[in-house]
Chain A
């Protein structure tokens, strides 16, 4: 037996033994489903969510390619492919959703010191610490580098004062990775540092922001004379902008998956919604105007999926095209939701109450949430600027 075949056998056996019944295909629909983000204050409606996270975290398989010395799985790319396939075959749920995994850990691996990697990455992998991102400020949205939250050198530590906004789940997070101004006299890109801050520190407070969808996934985060130890600085002082840009690429790559209906494992499908609300004849959506618009959209989505695949096959060119994927992924996601809402008629704009099905009301909220996709992580217009300048080489004014 080759090593890979043995790995497949072992993985299959391990999953069979360790993946709890409610975390895989055929789970009892009556058992509540958790959205597992981990952290110090995690609560679980289903105790098996916690068991599954602990077991996968122990193996390091929430970040399977990270070396074992940092708590990762230490697997090769081929082994990860096998792990994913075997998890897919039994319909295993992702054990952990995490900004630590998607954004912070990759830059820590690249820019962190040995101590920083050993301190933070294992806790991310095990889901023990939940992270949030402190980038945008009230006065610094698209022009992120103009940020003004300041960190003063007071000897052993930095003294942080200022305000962040659009911090996802800051009210639930344990730590924040933040961009702060450490060089007030330097040119704006050269005075920024990348700092890790414990949300339990004295002087940190958060306030949720209610969105048009009625939900509050984001917060405002305030820093009032917060003392942060110097060992929490990642990379060189005033060299945070490079790290920030790198992290944004990881974030954009993640958000662009929204463009594929399958990317978020969404159960909503524009075709079945259209057939339900507009009628069906010989297997076709009855209304030809909606049908042609839906087909046009499906074609674009298909072409986009093929382009993600091509970028994967080409390898290594992802950074040049990350902006394109962010732009298209989010614009397609908005378009798909607009089509689903339109095809649902008045049910597509249902807000609350018993007269409408949950699927209708949830669609309304989801549609409203997509409006933020082309703003967060760099607006569509910023992505177009990046493509014009960096990919096409068009001149600045």
Chain B
């Protein structure tokens, strides 16, 4: 496991850096936020990303993808996160593509993967039902009726849930709340009768929804993976998602830090640059170190995912914890070091703070993963 980028990954990264700077600088995000756009990402931009092949990075060549794995898409997500680029790349290109490609039947793969590759199909993953991430607390019910299943319940905080074409939903086919067994994943068309999407307004102005299912009928062909194996598969899918969101959070932290560092080298008070004050220098140096640790953690985790390492779960929790804590620190310090303009809406740095706190909650906070790390390490 080498902790350096391959040539292909470096190429993807450079392409993504240019794309983010030229096609979606932070103003792109700002204007979406200020518009009344219900989707909060731009369809034209998504078409451009699709033409670059990004939704298919994790999809095998036989379905039109490029098969660069989680590492490939992580470097793209990291770069796009530097300008806060909103897009379905995480929910569709990572969560949708990975779960269908890894656990889907041949029919499901043929039906969905090529459509994901060409940017025509977007997906969402509906897991949680309360304010804190906890997949095994699922109460959402799938009741068998002859050859069909009847889905009922409410899912919360579904990323891209306000607009996705396809919902991958975690349901209980037996057992009760808290059990890790009796769970099954279903792939459901979002426009089916009985599905109601309630758009959420979150601090980071991105696309989320609560989704209610009121006796939605699906056939047993809609099951993703085998019946009642989702206790394990959902954890695997979530681990892939946790690593990808960690890469995004690393990109957020790097950008917030670089912006702050520039400011320290421009802003004068008391007749000198504020970056010459040791009180600020030491805090900047500490942030630099935390970001370096985060880079290594994210890279080790994405490599572990692509190599199917035995240590994947632990490294996923490591990456989510470290990136969460680093981004938490950097987003706070960035505001403080910017002084008054840091708390104005006109200035961009506040976007990073709002994004940070939402991203910290996605698929488990640092606290959740610190506990999980201890469990997985045998103490």
Contact = CB atoms under 8 A, between A and B. Distances in A.
A271 to B, nearest CB: 5
B202 interface: no
Nearest to A309: B3
Contacts of A185: none
Contacts of A393: 265
B379 A271 contact: yes
A396 B379 contact: no
Interface in A379-393: 381, 383-385, 387-389, 391-393
B321 interface: yes
B275 A295 contact: no
B293 A303 contact: yes
Given A303-B296, A396-B276, A387 B370 contact: no
Interface string B186-228: 0000000000000000000000000000000000000000000
B377 A298 contact: yes
A388 B284 contact: yes
Interface stretch (A46-54, A81-89, A321-329): A321-329
B292 A388 contact: no
Given A310-B4, A396-B276, A285 B282 contact: no
A161 B281 CA distance: 38
A212 to B, nearest CB: 26
Given A294-B379, A295-B373, A392 B261 contact: yes
Interface in A314-373: 314, 321, 324, 327-328
Interface in B1-41: 2-4
A309 B264 CA distance: 31
A274 B379 contact: yes
14 contacts: A283-B379, A284-B374, A284-B375, A295-B377, A300-B322, A306-B3, A307-B292, A307-B293, A313-B4, A324-B288, A328-B293, A384-B281, A385-B282, A395-B272
Contacts of B275: 394-395
B318 A302 contact: yes
Given A292-B374, A395-B275, 18 more contacts: A275-B379, A292-B370, A295-B373, A295-B379, A299-B373, A300-B293, A302-B297, A302-B318, A306-B296, A306-B299, A307-B292, A324-B289, A324-B292, A385-B282, A388-B278, A388-B282, A394-B264, A397-B277
A210 interface: no
B306 interface: no
**Which of A274, A328, A384: most chain B CB closer than 10 A?**
A384
Contact of A395 (B265, B286, B377): B265
A291 interface: yes
A310 B374 contact: no
A292 B4 contact: no
A389 B276 CA distance: 9
A295 B370 contact: yes
B338 to A, nearest CB: 16
Nearest to B323: A303
Contacts of B288: 324, 387, 391-392
**Which of A274, A283, A313: most chain B CB closer than 10 A?**
A313
Nearest to A293: B370
A385 B281 contact: yes
B339 interface: no
Contacts of A304: 293
Q: Which 8 A-B pairs have the closest CB atoms?
A: A388-B281, A310-B3, A387-B285, A295-B374, A306-B296, A307-B296, A397-B276, A303-B293
A381 B309 CA distance: 38
A296 B370 contact: yes
B369 to A, nearest CB: 8
Contact of B379 (A284, A384, A391): A284
B282 A394 contact: no
B130 interface: no
Interface string A79-114: 000000000000000000000000000000000000
Contact of A327 (B264, B289, B371, B374): B289
Contacts of A384: 281-282, 285-286
Nearest to B301: A306
Contacts of B370: 292, 295-296, 299
A295 B374 CA distance: 6
B328 interface: no
B272 A292 contact: no
Nearest to A297: B370
A309 B322 CA distance: 17
A162 B158 CA distance: 71
**Which of A284, A304, A313, A388: most chain B CB closer than 10 A?**
A388
Nearest to A387: B285
B374 A303 contact: no
Contacts of B284: 388, 392, 394
Interface in A132-183: none
A314 B4 contact: yes
Nearest to B376: A295
Contacts of A381: 282
B265 to A, nearest CB: 7
B117 interface: no
Contacts of B377: 271, 295, 298
A388 B275 CA distance: 9
B84 interface: no
